[in-house]
Amino acid sequence: MKKIFAFIGSPLKEKSNTYNLTKMMLDKLVKMDGEITYEILTAGHVHIKYCTGCWSCMTKGFCPLDSTDDMGGIRQKMMDADFIIMGSPVYTMSVSGQMKTLLDRFCAWYHLFKLAGKPGMTVATTAGSGLEEVHDLLEMLMTALGIKSVTRLETYAYFPGIYRDPESARKKAEEAAEIVYPYITGEKQVESDEFFEECFKIMKNKVTMGARWLAADYKYWEEHGFLELSSYAKLLEKERENE
Ligand SMILES: Cc1cc2nc3c(=O)[nH]c(=O)nc-3n(C[C@H](O)[C@H](O)[C@H](O)COP(=O)(O)O)c2cc1C
């Protein structure tokens, strides 16, 4: 079985346009291959508290809020997934506040490449503007988590269920399914690229220079043998050897 996990930052649960666009693509994938299963959570399905800025994730290695809301479960679902989707409606030219709350809670994970080697993609819907801003932000942060975004899916939509062009939305969802399918079966593998390499350099520098303060991050890099590595490509190689 291959598992896909999607988090959609809309409060509207099953009524959300972004949820439904994502579901169109996932239903197509399941039709293509019965070995594929998926779970979509929206911000409306879960409770995620705001980051309190306590720095515990980077200094002690855990978030004290994880045991008080749904974030621990979401982290586990992402670790278990073969493919990860992050989607958001455009809210005021960016991701929704709910999505930003989730992204903030990943804080330490942006230094650790815990999801290295996993493929994924971004999804966005809007009434008219801000699609690129949402994709760019999600894609950049997914890279820092170690996820390679292999495509972008988007459409124009207004009130729940009202798409500007429903047929074009369906077509785009089905085309996206064709693009992601080989990454789910393993026929295509995620490789390093210039963004991952840049991110690796920045994170290595941050973790090494900040060793005194970011004690948990440093320990993680030390224990995983990342400190001796010269590139993200080598990190991927190392993680695949351990699979
Ligand atoms: C609070 C809020 C802010 C929005 N901001 C924008 C915006 O800046 N630009 C735009 O074109 N559409 C904006 N929209 C429209 C939504 O992006 C659009 O309807 C989207 O499909 C909603 O997705 P959802 O059903 O998954 O929540 C906004 C909608 C809401 C509710």
CATH of the domain at 63: 3.40.50.360
For ligand 1, mutation pick of 92, 98, 133 (most atoms within 8 Å of CB): 92
Between CA 85 and CA 4 the distance in angstroms is 8
Tell me, yes or no, whether 136 lies in a domain. Answer: yes
Between CA 152 and CA 120 the distance in angstroms is 10
Report the DSSP beta bridge partners of residue 24: none
Tell me, yes or no, whether 127 lies in a domain. Answer: yes
Tell me, yes or no, whether 12 lies in a domain. Answer: yes
Note the pLDDT of residue 207: 94
CB–CB of 153/146 below 8 Å?
no
Query: Could you list the residue range(s) of the whole structural domain that residue 56 is in?
Result: 2-189
Q: Whose CA is nearest to atom 1 of ligand 1?
A: 91
d(CA 160, ligand 1 centre) in Å: 10
Tell me, yes or no, whether 16 lies in a domain. Answer: yes
Alpha helices, DSSP H, located in the chain:
17-32, 56-59, 71-80, 97-105, 131-145, 166-185, 194-209, 215-223, 232-241
Task: Indicate if ligand 1 lies below 6 Å from the C-beta of 91.
Answer: yes
pTM over cut 0.75: yes
> Phi and psi at residue 32, in whole multiples of 5°?
-70, -30
Alpha helices, DSSP H, located in 150-214:
166-185, 194-209
Tell me, yes or no, whether 223 lies in a domain. Answer: no
The count of domains in the chain is: 1
Tell me, yes or no, whether 225 lies in a domain. Answer: no
Please report the atom of ligand 1 found closest to the CA of residue 10: 27
- What is the distance between the terminal CA atoms of the chain, rounded to a whole angstrom? 17
Tell me, yes or no, whether 22 lies in a domain. Answer: yes
CB–CB of 123/85 below 8 Å?
yes
d(CA 224, ligand 1 centre) in Å: 41
Note the pLDDT of residue 41: 98
pLDDT in tens, the chain (243 residues): 999 999 999 999 999 999 999 999 999 999 999 999 999 999 999 999 999 999 999 999 999 999 999 999 999 999 999 999 999 999 999 999 999 999 999 999 999 999 999 999 999 999 999 999 999 999 999 999 999 999 999 999 999 999 999 999 999 999 999 999 999 999 999 999 999 999 999 999 999 998 888 899 999 999 999 999 999 999 999 999 887
Note the pLDDT of residue 213: 87
Tell me, yes or no, whether 232 lies in a domain. Answer: no
Task: Indicate if ligand 1 lies below 6 Å from the C-beta of 155.
Answer: no
